Structure 1
Amino acid sequence: MRHHVLNMGEVQGQGYVGQALGVADMLAVTYVDQLRYRTDDPHWVERDRFLLSTGHYAIALYSAFAEAGIVPVEELKTYGSDDSRLPMSGMASYTPGMEISGGSLGHGLTVAVGMALGLRLQGSDSRVFNFLSDGELNEGSTWEAAMGAKHHGLGNLIAMVDMNALQADGKTEGIMSIEPAHEKWEAAGWFTQRVGGNDVDALLAAFDAVAARAEPTGTPAVILCDTRIGAGVPLLETREKAHFMRIEADEWELCRQQLTEGATK
């Protein structure tokens, strides 16, 4: 998946590459181990729903779609191009498997609450997964949705938060502190876990704990995932301006080499 991210990023020469590398483990575990879906039928009524609230993370989700067989790997080279099904920000009207058009941060969890409630009213046992960023915890609508999920007992709702500590304008701590995040979610009535977002075993254990409790009526769950921007590529892990990266033409192959070397150690 990380190689897919680099290949797509090179098409534009820039983009949200750091975030995509950071959350690759989260998405891999979700699509391999948790989600119920059919690659040939994105609208299968019994599927679990995955909502990408952070629409600019689309490059990360496309890499998961490619590995899951939802979009062809060769289609990734059209990323961000005219008439592509893979725009730079996630669009449900263009891309198979993309449930919502995310982008205006703070809206995703609200949509997820409505969707989880609607599925329960229909008698469905499908689950709703909502991917958020830590910056979205600055948004009041996120906490309104969190309270609503507890009020309605949405045990079929799982939130995943990328805690990469970075926003467009700088470090999250400096923009608006969101800590203590774990205690805030618990106070809102959610089953809360905080794990290393680049630790696959920890992610698997956290999702298994959520799955063991999942039911249409119950307690919503959130997994706070501490990730590293640019994970797997040391050159990018240390970039000062990492929210939207400009990567020089001669650096892409070095990034791939570092990624390959790290994976074989």
Structure 2
Amino acid sequence: MTLTSSIQSPEATAARTERVEAAAYRIRHYALNMGEVQGQGYVGQALGAAEMFAVVYADQLRYRAEDPEWEARDRFLLSTGHYAIGHYAALAEAGIVPVAELDSYGSDDSRLPMSGMSTYTPGMEISGGSLGHGLTIAVGTALGLRYQGSEARVYNFLSDGELDEGSTWEAAMGAHHHQLGNLTAMVDINALQADGKTDTVLRTEPVADKWAACGWFVQRVDGNDMGALLAAFDAAAAQAAPEGRPSVILCDTKVGRGVPLLENREKAHFMRIEEHEWQICREQLTAGYEGETK
């Protein structure tokens, strides 16, 4: 996978956007199919963050599907282990995990447990579970790659709930201190966490100002707007360097995005979806996607 130049003709830009939007659609479909295996899960987050996963794996990340341990690869670190269902869908879209294997999601002896574990899944760089660890590992990884003279970049996926953790902000300060210009963080701001709405659990706004105060290059976009998301990643890539400001892209997303049945469902952090609803979800997803692409 190679990076796409940000200097493109309107036709090339449209084709690029269409290609990555198609990847996001398939990622959502894979997530629904996996969710049906268990009848429940963190499906809403996977749907909401599909564009984020698609941009990384279909447009930005350098990897070799046939060799997930390729030394020169970019690293994608999923801090939020419960988002694994979305990550598995992206790994399948990238060809790292066979699509047929998604049917084993969350089952005994599966390589795809409900919470991401690096010891099980090819392409899964870290085991995520307790939040607040991912960015600290990303800082160490980015620093280590720089010491090795590697041109690889590190991408860290966080959630807005994870910003409650003090270790996240320690790592943010550390990344600026070490001038880790090879590090890009992306934060899924869906305004919901296990204990309720994010702003009622622990208010983190003005979150962009806080990242800026830590010395990061900050962008905030609609995380479900593919054009805006691609432009933000291009801007982050343009200023990336072995030494320089780390980048953060704050992505406002909607839980259940693309499936109206799920977009306004209560208790959406961990969804229980009735047996007869799964096919309705797929039909709504397809109808919405086809309507947008006509």
Note the alpha carbon deviations across 1:138-192, whole angstroms, 9 max, x for none. Answer: 1000000000000000000000000000000100000000100000000000000
Paired-residue identity, %: 75
Residue in 1 that maps onto 2:158: 132
Note the alpha carbon deviations across 1:17-52, whole angstroms, 9 max, x for none. Answer: 000000000100111111000001111000000000
Residue correspondence of structure 1 range 1-265 to structure 2 within 5 A: 1-265=27-291
Note the alpha carbon deviations across 1:219-256, whole angstroms, 9 max, x for none. Answer: 00000000000000000001011000000001101111
- 2: CA distance, partners of 1:54 / 1:116: 19
- Give the match's secondary structure for 1:50: strand
TM-score (norm 2): 0.90
- 2: CA distance, partners of 1:69 / 1:42: 10
- 2: CA distance, partners of 1:204 / 1:114: 26
Runs (4 or more) in structure 1 with deviation over 6 Å come to: none
- 2: CA distance, partners of 1:126 / 1:103: 25
Q: Letter of the 1:119 partner, please give it.
A: L
Q: Letter of the 1:113 partner, please give it.
A: V
TM-score (norm 1): 1.00
- 1: CA distance, partners of 2:170 / 2:213: 13
Residue in 1 that maps onto 2:21: none
1:103 is displaced (CA, Å) by 1.1
Coordinate RMSD, CA, aligned:
0.4
1:78 is displaced (CA, Å) by 0.2
Corresponding pairs, count: 265
- Give the match's secondary structure for 2:49: helix
- Give the match's secondary structure for 1:223: strand
- Give the match's secondary structure for 1:41: coil
1:206 is displaced (CA, Å) by 0.2
